[in-house]
């Protein structure tokens, strides 16, 4: 299992720890990734070269991006050497970090195929396209993807709706794809306490804040709340955000009870903020599959999401009180008011979360992944 750039570490670690517990006796898993702390991971793992810390991974600074690119090249070379020295049955890649900007990944995959021709290669497609992609950028990305897909034996997606969209957009045969559900994250180092509503309804939106994630939709919804409702709603928006976007949105929230934390925060700080909330809001304009949503579920809080197909598939059976009309701030405002004035069935929502927790366990995901590898 390899994450060259350490892009989806929470997912990698949870999956690898679960796999290690249930693999058949004659099988063995080795996890290689940048930005990990091996002593804290309960499986056989090795840290790859990490020139840029996790907190700066998405930085646009040209020097930092250059170091991140160098890190990726060195780690690919190390992986190639590793494959030369070890007999590997399955190589499972968790991300193709260069594919977002160039076609160099094709060369690395060709070399991997050459040095280890019998190794089967899996790729988990966490996002169909890079975040914030324009139509032109999506077209260019599909072209680059066409150059690497021949080296992949099986593509893994987390939802059926994502799998169908992936096959259509990238002209991939159904037989080369499969669905392995995303497990629900279990935050380490924090005890999940039941939600107890105080005088105010505490909302939170977290993660990198951007246009496609709909931060402005949430802000606009807050401005549309009745005066009575605004008095009893407190909102926390936490995550890195572009300065211009932040300035524009903060101006709108000047007279509202909104707490901004416009920067990357450590996991323990984020988890405490989520624990203090009553409702988690995820107003994305588009997403194929969301780790943010799976983390939200682990805190067993009420959730409000846009009615995107991927969200509706993940939250099947949650009822109408969870979804608002995509890109419609007025629709979101109505849902927030329902929660603020306690007009929704919280017991039903929390029961639905408990059901989903069981069906989306890491053990279930691991067993399905093992089945995919055995068939390969």
CATH (domain of 25): 3.40.50.2000
Instruction: Give the Cα separation of 112 and 282 in Å (integer).
Output: 39
The reply to whether 44 and 153 lie within a common domain is: yes
- Residues of the chain with pLDDT below 70 are 54-60
Domain annotation covers residue 278: yes
Domain that holds residue 158: 2-183+361-375
Per-residue model confidence (pLDDT) at position 55: 59
Q: Do 329 and 217 touch, CB atoms closer than 8 A?
A: yes
Domain annotation covers residue 196: no
Give long-range contacts, CB 8 A cutoff, 24+ apart: 216-220: 216/245, 216/248, 216/249, 217/283, 217/285, 217/306, 217/327, 217/328, 217/329, 217/332, 218/281, 218/283, 218/329, 218/332, 219/249, 219/252, 219/253, 219/258, 220/252, 220/329
Domain annotation covers residue 80: yes
Per-residue model confidence (pLDDT) at position 59: 61
The reply to whether 221 and 103 lie within a common domain is: no
Alpha helix (H) residue ranges in 258-324: 267-275, 291-298, 309-314
* Total of domains in the chain: 2
Beta partners for residue 179, in sequence order? 157
The reply to whether 29 and 144 lie within a common domain is: yes
The reply to whether 257 and 309 lie within a common domain is: yes
Domain annotation covers residue 188: no
The reply to whether 264 and 352 lie within a common domain is: yes
Six token digits for residue 168: 């259509």
Domain annotation covers residue 191: no
Domain annotation covers residue 189: no
The reply to whether 159 and 224 lie within a common domain is: no
The reply to whether 249 and 134 lie within a common domain is: no
The reply to whether 152 and 23 lie within a common domain is: yes
Alpha helix (H) residue ranges in 27-126: 62-85, 105-115
Per-residue model confidence (pLDDT) at position 300: 86
Domain annotation covers residue 193: no
Six token digits for residue 173: 């045969």
pLDDT single digits (tens) 238-280: 999 999 999 999 999 999 999 999 998 988 899 999 999 999 9
Q: Do 129 and 287 touch, CB atoms closer than 8 A?
A: no
The reply to whether 61 and 168 lie within a common domain is: yes
The reply to whether 291 and 207 lie within a common domain is: yes
Per-residue model confidence (pLDDT) at position 66: 84
Dihedral angle, C-alpha 242, 248, 249, 251, nearest 10 °? 130
Q: Do 128 and 288 touch, CB atoms closer than 8 A?
A: yes
Q: Do 275 and 193 touch, CB atoms closer than 8 A?
A: yes
Instruction: Give the Cα separation of 179 and 125 in Å (integer).
Output: 10
Domain annotation covers residue 10: yes
Per-residue model confidence (pLDDT) at position 184: 87
Q: Do 281 and 205 touch, CB atoms closer than 8 A?
A: yes
* Beta pairing class for 279-282 and 201-206: parallel
The reply to whether 354 and 369 lie within a common domain is: no
The reply to whether 46 and 102 lie within a common domain is: yes
Report in angstroms the alpha-carbon separations of 116 from 99, 112, 147, 369.
22, 6, 19, 22
């Amino acid at each position: 299992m390899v994450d060259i750039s350490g892009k989806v570490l929470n997912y990698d670690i949870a999956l690898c720890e679960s796999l290690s517990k249930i693999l058949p006796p004659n099988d063995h898993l080795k996890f290689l990734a940048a930005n990990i702390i091996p002593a804290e991971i309960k499986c056989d793992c090795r840290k790859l070269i990490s020139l840029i810390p996790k907190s700066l991974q998405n930085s646009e600074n040209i020097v930092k991006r250059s170091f991140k690119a160098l890190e990726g090249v060195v780690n690919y070379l190390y992986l190639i050497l590793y494959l030369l020295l070890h007999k590997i049955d399955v190589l499972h890649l968790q991300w193709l970090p260069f594919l977002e900007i160039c076609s160099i990944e094709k060369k690395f995959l060709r070399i991997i195929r050459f040095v280890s021709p019998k190794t089967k290669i899996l790729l988990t497609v966490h996002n169909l396209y890079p975040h914030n992609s324009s139509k032109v950028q999506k077209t260019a990305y599909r072209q680059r993807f066409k150059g690497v897909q021949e080296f992949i034996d099986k593509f893994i997606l987390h939802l059926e709706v994502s799998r169908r969209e992936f096959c259509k957009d990238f002209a991939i045969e159904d037989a080369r794809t499969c669905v392995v559900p995303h497990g629900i994250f279990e935050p380490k180092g924090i005890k999940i306490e039941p939600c107890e509503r105080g005088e105010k309804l505490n909302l939170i939106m977290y993660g990198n804040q951007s246009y496609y994630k709909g931060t402005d939709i949430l802000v606009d919804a807050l401005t549309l709340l009745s005066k009575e409702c605004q008095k009893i709603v407190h909102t926390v928006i936490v995550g890195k955000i572009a300065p211009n976007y932040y300035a524009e949105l903060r101006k709108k929230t000047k007279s509202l009870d909104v707490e901004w934390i416009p920067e990357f925060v450590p996991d323990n700080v984020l988890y405490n903020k989520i624990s203090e909330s009553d409702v988690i809001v995820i107003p994305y304009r588009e997403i194929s599959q969301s780790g943010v949503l799976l983390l939200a579920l682990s805190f067993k809080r009420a959730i409000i999401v846009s009615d995107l197909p991927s969200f509706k598939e993940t939250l099947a059976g949650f009822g109408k009180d969870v979804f608002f009309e995509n890109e419609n701030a007025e629709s979101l405002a109505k849902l927030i008011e329902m929660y603020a004035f306690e007009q929704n069935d919280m017991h039903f929502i929390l029961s639905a979360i408990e059901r989903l927790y069981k069906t989306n366990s890491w053990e279930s995901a691991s067993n399905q992944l093992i089945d995919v590898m055995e068939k390969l």
